[in-house]
A and B are shown apart, each in its own frame.
Chain A
């Protein structure tokens, strides 16, 4: 198993970035140095897997987020209210101060009728309408996951619901946290940074450099196999997955350090190739995911 084995102080520090930031934000809220901000989490045209991934976070967990860090106002998967009462909780924030987290792309077909997220005053509220309304007014917009960031699998060819990433519909800056799903640390760390210091340093694709600055390939524990030309011919082998179609050489994110689910494992640690799920162009430009016949 791949328990954190890093003796490298740089890796160790990066591993702790998210939890250090989150604990600082929680302390600052407790000491009233910063405001406890309102958080809206919109699930749009996607699989609603990013909220599940957030629940998988543990340093600290969802309870700390919802009780000590933010006023969690709205999320379709978790809120107790239903129907128009739920919609009212969302619309009550119109004109107020809030941070907006969005998962899922936005379906634009038929004026957005391919994804309705609720009904209010006898009218359907489409994902399209919701992102326009709440996206422009938010103090900060965070795209959580690959669909919200760039369309992702919801926009895969032939894109039947005509999906786009949320930036396409907003005339303001969106912080993008691609990944299918988004790692809970990436979201929690970014949110804490925004609350403490404002916008984090971003790359040219609007991703926070603190999580998205390094190619998987450059810090992959199997890199020595690549350098020596020792390649796996099928999943399950312990060498370099490059010839199976591994997208580590083009994917910029910290999976090899951070790993997943209490840091027990990650795709390459599972003897399978990276499929570039955190990359612009996923999935169409990252396929085939697995192929046995690449030279």
Chain B
């Protein structure tokens, strides 16, 4: 048996390690470990509830808007504020910009280098494997798009800034919708940018994703995981427009069910935390770190739904809304993400069409002495939850369960691996000295370890064998 260690897993946000046991060319066990701890939940205690919106964005540089949206929803829930439809449209347009920015960057800058040979003579593009299969012309076309794409992801952030002030870390998303108002000029500018971004997605990104898929067909069989899918819903339940994307729902055992948020728990059996119990509900406790805990191997917590691991992200959403049912695998995740980018652009077009210029959605808000609120929303990488408790007008508890915590979650007492771990187990590795399959599987989840703030390295476990991956 061989143990393979990949660290750093590059082209993700944040730091992680993959540990895999390979026996006769097959992955028999695999672990995902995040390597960055900052502890935002502890930092937020005692701060003004309003500050959570800008504060939590700093969890993540590539999906900061996601946190501002979840945080705002939690505050609105706690303060009992009903948001106007215009407020929702404005906020969801900003959120949509982040989807476009993220998906374009994830496909070209993070995923493509796994399959495309980038120009030689640049250290940044040197690779450690040779499994490049696209014909020269197709390869070079996608390389060109790798660089062209920089303009379109940048344009998506420009759109975001038109309503959100700046990106990353916007100022626009706030209680009630956003801080500022739409103007005809802003709407016009955003439409112009959106048309170009959408054209790039349709004419370049989606065909490029299918070109990669054609040359790597076995990746439709690799990296399935459990096939349990979950979404908190997004771009849904508008008063006049109804659901433009997907409602809160789950998929398991070939059945789609409505999501019941009361079934969400977090588990710390394999994590360096102590809470007097393994499993708790979001409002119950923020566990204390305990580095000496027996049988723990990581600081990643393990979110569960009805006690089971669930995969979240673009494939889960596209599957649950019925638009993509080809399969659940590494390549299906990549295709679903590219197709979702087009869907999001179309939804944004509808929302832009329904904006009324000059509507101010801001009021003077008061912080109650005590209150609780939850903000559950699907974001670029999947289901994101913020839970806030306010006591004496300050934050007394702030729980964050990120999409990457769902996907990179650790094992419960039942020893069930997390979804990404499960996706790697059973994979046939063609060359154990260059196990390129593992990184490809993991990147299909678009992990964001910056977001999985509770994560910690297990330290100095003894490796039985080292392979230079």
Contacts and interface: CB of A to CB of B under 8 A. Distances in A.
A231 interface: no
Contacts of A85: 126-128, 468-469
Nearest to A115: B36
B164 to A, nearest CB: 7
B10 A50 contact: no
Interface in A42-78: 43, 45-53, 55-58, 61-63, 66-67, 71-78
Given A1-B189, A55-B105, A63-B150, A113 B457 contact: yes
A188 interface: no
B233 to A, nearest CB: 26
A114 B109 contact: no
A77 B13 contact: yes
Interface string B1-43: 0000111111111110100000000000000000111110011
A158 B183 contact: no
Nearest to B109: A78
Contacts of B163: 270
B78 to A, nearest CB: 16
Contacts of B150: 55, 61-63
A62 B108 CA distance: 14
B154 A114 contact: no
Interface string B128-172: 100000000000000000010011011001101111111111111
Q: Is the interface of B mostly helix, strand, loop or mixed?
A: loop
Sort chain B's interface into a size bin: 35 or more
Contacts of A292: 364-366
Interface in A262-295: 262, 264-267, 269-272, 275, 277, 283, 287-292
A180 interface: yes
Interface string B165-191: 111111110100001110101100100
B457 A261 contact: no
Of residues B8, B113, B364, B457, which shows the largest number of chain A Cβ atoms within 10 Å of its Cβ?
B8
A177 B54 CA distance: 20
A198 interface: no
Nearest to A236: B362
A205 interface: no
Contacts of A159: 43
Contacts of A43: 15
A48 B14 contact: yes
B91 to A, nearest CB: 13
A160 interface: yes
Contacts of B166: 260-261, 265-267, 270
A106 to B, nearest CB: 12
A75 B126 CA distance: 12
Nearest to B466: A122
Contact of A267 (B55, B171, B365, B468): B171
Contacts of A262: 154, 158, 161
B227 interface: no
Nearest to B62: A52
Contacts of A160: 37-39, 42-43
Nearest to A48: B61
Contacts of A57: 154
Interface of B: 5-15, 17, 35-39, 42-43, 47-48, 50-51, 54-55, 58-62, 64, 105, 109-110, 113, 118, 122-128, 147, 150-151, 153-154, 157-158, 160-172, 174, 179-181, 183, 185-186, 189, 291, 360-366, 439, 450, 456-457, 459-460, 463, 466, 468-469
